[in-house]
Amino acid sequence: MTDLDSNPLVLVADDEPQTTIMLTRIFEREGYRVLSVYDGEAALQAAGEQNPDLILLDVQMPKKNGFETLKELRENPATSAIPTIIVTAKARQPSDIAYGLNLGADDFVQKPFDPRELLARASSKIRAHKLEEALQRRTQELEILLRVGEALNQHVNVAELLGLVPYLTLDLLPGSLSTIYQLDDQYNVIQYQVQNKTFPDHIVNNIDHAQLVHNFLNSSGSIFWNKAELGLGQDFPTGMAVSLQHGGKFLGILMLVSNAKSFSYDGNHLRLFEGIGRQAALALRNAQLYEIQIKYSSQLEEMVDAKTAELKSAQEMLIRSEKLASIGELAASIAHEINNPLQPIRINLGDMLEDIQNNIPIDVRAIQITQESVERIRRIVNQLLDFAGKRSNSDFEMELIDVAKIIETVASLNRKFFEKEGMSITLNTPTPLPVFGNKDQLEQVFMNMVLNAQAAMDRGGKLSISGWVDKEEIFIQFADSGCGIPEEQINKIFDPFFSTKPNGTGLGLFVSYGIIQNHNGIINVDSVINKGTTFTVQLPAENLHPNES
């Protein structure tokens, strides 16, 4: 793929050649690829065939005008999500703008326009669309992996798992044939299972499985290919293969191939396939340990002296594996936390759109806050995956930070959301409030505190956030006027999976408690029914001027 091919594609639909030439030059100068058409029908055809990253649409065009074209774009599932900006000199009335926006236009730009403004709007729409696609894809992957884990953990029989894993793989990913191999400690094939969708039996029966496993073991781990590899020949033009490993033990290989000539796997497919492989390895190892336990239990009377130590070791390994399974489920469930920052993002984007419609300059700070929030979502997802066992808390970067600034950012992100719900946030956090810690983790804790307060209050509710330094400790207090927490539940709110919310997962406070503990701090809570709840976070203070006496 060339650099040009990797750049965003802009489709310009305008019946004025001079305008299309000007727009082409503006965008090509900034590194975009540009495709120009001159009527609505050509625009629909090009959008369906080329799948551009952005469409610039004129209103007055032959065959189909811009509004008709936009309506058909939004009705077609293949083009419904493509960002579209109406660039026009005709439709200037508020009713025209409202009509276009109601049809699904993402923005309106009137001719004549400032190229810098048009480029900024175009870049913003493309970036927002790609971020939304990435978030949706990652959320779908997490949901799929959760379903796979739930399905596999219901089975403790190795043979059943070997039959189930290829079936689930073909159900969740595009492919024609899936194979799983169980290997011993010397990497010899113990047994394998093949799930075939569309391949002729004579092709499947002629696969040299031993040679295939040998070729994979000589490769560099997880791979995907779009040509004949692994000794499969031309009948298997594209595929993926991953190793099944758990706790440093190599258990087997999972493979997925396709005979569709026009299809090829990519990195997104491989990432999800690797996740399925990890879940399969965990379930397979649990099943092996379970079979070991059953075997030892059935021969307990004869082996009690010689095998007691080995049985105890197997039981401990089973417990560790079950804990890892719980951690994996916890990490997948807690991914709902990424939805928290989406509220202020939506409100900021709505306000920016309204400002654009009213020809009011866009609030640059609102854009920065939105970008920071989106970046925070990405970091949270990575940290949640780390929480599933990839990285310990001690690996997070710790530095000297001012928690007052973090609190101000969190309050700013949520203020409009609170106002929209008829609530208010007040701050009394003198700066600096210096601590030694991780900015992202503490921001996650404070965001959770604010959103919990919002969920506990009705219209008219008030949240007061205060901060102060007392000797060598920093205190941050979140006091809301909500419904309060019953006395019998106070001691349970930091437990995993305990929640007072109808749709809550009971993970927010559990994770927050662990983060504060890792910062050598504590969280206290006081609550009175129908009066409100106060959370107080206490952290060790740091000296911003260590050279001062």
- 3-state secondary structure at position 341: coil
Task: Compute the distance between CA of residue 333 and CA of residue 423 in angstroms, rounded to an integer.
Answer: 29
**Is residue 446 over pLDDT 80?**
yes
- Closest alpha carbon to 427 in 443, 404, 453: 404
pLDDT more than 90, % of the chain: 19
215 Cβ contact partners less than 8 Å away, ≥ 6 residues apart: 229, 230, 231
Highest mean pLDDT among 184-198, 232-246, 305-319, 527-541: 527-541
Mean pLDDT of 290-317: 67
Domain regions of the chain by residue span: 3-124, 154-298, 390-540
Task: Compute the distance between CA of residue 217 and CA of residue 255 in angstroms, rounded to an integer.
Answer: 13
Task: Name the pLDDT band for 527 (thresholds 50, 70, 90).
Answer: very high
pLDDT at 325: 57
Q: Are 416 and 344 in contact (CB under 8 A)?
A: yes
Q: Which of 241-245, 327-331, 368-372 has the lowest mean pLDDT?
A: 327-331
pLDDT at 101: 83
Q: Are 199 and 235 in contact (CB under 8 A)?
A: yes
Written as six digits, the tokens of 430 are 């003198």
Domains 3-124 and 154-298 share a fold: no
Task: Compute the distance between CA of residue 227 and CA of residue 31 in angstroms, rounded to an integer.
Answer: 31
Written as six digits, the tokens of 117 are 């403004």
pLDDT at 464: 95
**Is residue 370 over pLDDT 70?**
yes
57 Cβ contact partners less than 8 Å away, ≥ 6 residues apart: 13, 43, 66, 69, 70, 84, 85, 86, 87, 105
Residue of 497 and 157 predicted with greater confidence: 157
**Distance from chain centroid for Cα 485:** 31
Buried-state track 403-431, b at ≥16 Cβ within 10 A, e below 16: bbebbebbbbbbbbbbeeeebebebebee
- 3-state secondary structure at position 540: strand
Task: Compute the distance between CA of residue 10 and CA of residue 122 in angstroms, rounded to an integer.
Answer: 9
Instruction: List pLDDT tens digits, range 213-261.
Output: 887 787 766 666 655 455 555 667 788 888 888 888 888 888 888 887 7
- Closest alpha carbon to 148 in 256, 281, 270, 280: 280
Mean pLDDT of 19-23: 89
Q: Return the DSSP state at 360.
A: P
pLDDT at 12: 92
Task: Compute the distance between CA of residue 291 and CA of residue 222 in angstroms, rounded to an integer.
Answer: 28
DSSP letters, 117-151, are: HHHHHHHHHHHHHHHHHHHHHHHHHHHHHHHHHHH
Instruction: List pLDDT tens digits, range 311-322.
Output: 676 666 665 566
Mean pLDDT of 13-24: 89
Highest mean pLDDT among 120-129, 165-174, 537-546: 120-129
- 3-state secondary structure at position 396: coil
For domain 390-540, give its CATH number from 3.40.630.30, 3.40.50.150, 3.30.565.10, 1.20.81.30: 3.30.565.10
Residue of 308 and 481 predicted with greater confidence: 481
Q: Which superfamily, per CATH, for 154-298?
A: GAF domain (3.30.450.40)
pLDDT at 5: 43
pLDDT at 3: 38
pLDDT at 331: 58
Instruction: List pLDDT tens digits, range 385-435.
Output: 545 444 444 556 889 999 999 999 999 989 888 999 999 999 998 888 999
Mean pLDDT of 344-373: 84
Instruction: List pLDDT tens digits, range 65-122.
Output: 888 888 999 888 888 889 999 888 776 677 777 887 888 888 888 888 888 988 988 8
pLDDT at 34: 92
CATH number of 3-124: 3.40.50.2300
Task: Give the angle 182-186-188 at the CA atoms, nearest 5°.
Answer: 45
CB atoms inside a 10 Å sphere around CB 498: 16
From residue 194, how far is each of 151, 178, 210, 250 by CA, in Å?
19, 6, 14, 20
Mean pLDDT of 450-474: 91
Report which residue type is found at 66: G
Highest mean pLDDT among 28-37, 99-108, 202-211: 28-37
